[in-house]
Amino acid sequence: MAAQLPPLPWSYETHSLIGKYPGSGNVYLIDANGRKIAAIYCSPEEKNAVAEFICAASEQASRREREG
């Protein structure tokens, strides 16, 4: 399955207006090559939580992949 996914590990970035809560704007998942691979749509708190959850899972999958 990992072979079909964009390169791991993933990170995320938020795009919010200056002074606004992080996640109040767009939240994007970013692959290991720096490419935007997904956008997350829900409440700001949920966007950040979902992004952190996905990135933690991608880090674990990346570690397993490296360890063989």
pLDDT confidence bin for 57, thresholds 50/70/90: very high
The whole model's pTM is what?
Answer: 0.83
Please write the tens of the pLDDT for every residue from 6-50: 999 999 999 877 787 767 789 999 999 999 999 999 998 899 999
- Edge to edge, the sheet with strand 26-30 lists 11-15, 26-30, 36-40
